[in-house]
Structure 1
Amino acid sequence: MPSVNLRHSVRAIILDEDDRILLCRFAIPEPAGTVVWAAPGGGIEQDETPLAALRRELREKVGLAVRTDPPHVWHQEVVAPGHAAGYDGVVNDYFLVRTAGFNPRGALSDDELASENITGLDWWHPREVASYDGPDLFSPRDLATPLRALITSGVPARLVLLGI
């Protein structure tokens, strides 16, 4: 059986005091016009721990300094060629970060963010995620369900496995 080359990434479920979630707007080149709203984060570099990667990614993408070790709450594996350029799919590990609301602006320039297909950052209320019926997608597609459970029940006793 051939080995599968998956991109290992970390993402943060950043919730403010009103339980709004901070999401990145990804404008995906193929198929053209695809927009996906996803939790901020990114790839784990060689010799980097997941939490070190999370701290770096949040500093770069949204300007948030994480000083504690946030709880690991969700795990997602997507094996789908083309889902991540150069890989057979992705593994995303999600960590819960609670913070006061802030104006997201990371260390990366707009051009650097655009090179990663990020074209915006916005706070979404869980109601807005659940009721959204526009053309954009969420990652995971059913973000509203695990998000509602996380807000209602808190950190799960066991890691929640997410679908695509």
Structure 2
Amino acid sequence: MTPHLRRSVRAIILDEDDRILLCRFVFPHPVVPQQAKVVWAAPGGGVEAGEDRLTALRRELREETGLAITADPPHVWHQEVVDAGHVPGFDGIINDYFLVRAKHFQPRGELTDDQLAAENLAAFRWWQLSEIAGYRGPELFSPRDLATPLTALLTAGTPDQPVQLGL
């Protein structure tokens, strides 16, 4: 039987200093495993019925960060997690990540603070690769080893085909 997976899109937003914008999600958001309290993940979310991935990405970025993109960003990473406990109501998730270059900005999307909180999104932060690679605190990243694919993206550039990510 084919697993019922939630389709999501996420943006790897890099500023002119190669800092990445991440969202701080608190339990019980799908990217936060039950044993953890917080996960830092790329902005984005579910693809709604009738949407293609890029339409969903544009909507999610406007709603969460206020960033409006017009060009079609490159698809750089693909992640499939099949785990019935990972996303309520689904057998897992598919995350497609797109690279978005932007000038540094203060995230402020269309959603109110209460709406963001209802989605368990608590904060935004720009991170340097060295901060992610050296982080030893209790909070997690999604994907867990974010530093590895991010290093490859920053050093080798946009891949010809999306890189397959693990959990």
Question: Is this a same-fold pair by TM over 0.5?
Answer: yes
Q: Note the C-alpha offset of 1:114.
A: 1.1
Counterparts of 2:72 and 2:140, CA distance in 1: 29
Counterparts of 1:61 and 1:84, CA distance in 2: 20
Q: Note the C-alpha offset of 1:3.
A: 2.9
Taking only aligned residues, the RMSD between alpha carbons, in angstroms, comes to: 1.1
Q: Note the C-alpha offset of 1:48.
A: 0.5
Q: Note the C-alpha offset of 1:157.
A: 1.6
Q: Note the C-alpha offset of 1:82.
A: 2.0
Between the two proteins, what is the percent identity of the paired residues?
Answer: 64
> Among residues 76, 84, 96, which one is paired with 2:99 in the alignment?
96
Q: Is the counterpart of residue 13 in structure 1 residue 12 in structure 2?
A: yes
Aligned partner letter, 2:98: F
**CA offsets, 1:42-77, max 9 Å, x none?**
000111010000000000001100010000000000
Counterparts of 2:92 and 2:119, CA distance in 1: 16
**Where does structure 1 lack aligned partners over 5 or more consecutive residues?**
none
Q: Note the C-alpha offset of 1:33.
A: 5.5
SS of 1:51's partner is helix
Aligned partner letter, 2:73: P
Q: How many residues align?
A: 163
Aligned partner letter, 2:39: V
Q: Is the counterpart of residue 131 in structure 1 residue 130 in structure 2?
A: no
Aligned partner letter, 2:162: L
Q: Are 2:77 and 2:98, in contact at CA under 8 Å, matched by a contact in 1? A: yes
Q: Note the C-alpha offset of 1:32.
A: 6.7
**Where does structure 2 lack aligned partners over 5 or more consecutive residues?**
none
**Which residue does the alignment assign to 1:59?**
62
Q: TM-score, normalised by structure 2?
A: 0.94
> Among residues 103, 119, 122, which one is paired with 1:119 in the alignment?
122
